[in-house]
Amino acid sequence: MSRFTLTCPECHAEVSLSARRLTVRIDEGTATAGEAMFTCLSCHATVSVGMDASAVALLVLGGVTHLSLSAPVVTHPEVVPAGPAFTHDDLLDLHSALACETWIDQLVLGPDA
């Protein structure tokens, strides 16, 4: 198992960590740098250390788990259905249909029932 020595930015202690105690975050868009995240064995703080691309590659090749961060893709949560837009007249027709006491039967059995 690979071991890596890093300096904690909080307490400045040099800690030797196995690959499974580290996580590397990489910005997928640029991929020119990243950061290693770990919990310091000396002060027990969870910290991150910035690294250049070659250091990140060394850690990943040594078996460190990596997270690729990319810009989020935001899509509209609702898909617009095909067909004509819902109008005020459609709303009035729906209101009239729901005013009838047998609207649930018509919904279940169909309009011909």
Please report whether residue 12 resides in a domain: yes
Inside any domain, residue 32: yes
Split into its structural domains, the chain has a count of 1
Question: Does 111 fall in a domain?
Answer: no
Does residue 75 lie within any of the structural domains?
Answer: no
pTM over 0.85: no
User: Does the pLDDT value for residue 28 go beyond 90?
Assistant: no
Indicate whether 103 belongs to any domain. Answer: no
> What is the tens place of the pLDDT at every residue in 51-98?
888 888 889 889 998 888 766 666 777 777 788 888 999 999 889 888
Domain assignment of residue 113, yes or no: no
CA dist 48 and 40 (Å) reads: 10
| Cβ atoms of 47 and 8 closer than 8 Å | yes
Compute the C-alpha angle 61/46/35, nearest 5°: 40
Q: Which residues contact 20 (CB under 8 A, 6 or more apart)?
A: 1, 63, 65
Segments forming the whole domain that contains residue 44: 3-69
Q: How confident is the model at residue 31 (pLDDT cuts 50, 70, 90)?
A: low
Residue 41 falls within a domain, yes or no? yes
Percent of the chain with pLDDT over 70: 88
Whether the predicted pLDDT of 7 surpasses 90: yes
CA 89, CA 96: separation in Å to the nearest integer? 11
What's the mean pLDDT in 44-48? 93
**Helix, strand, coil abundance in the chain, percent, nearest 5:** 25, 30, 40
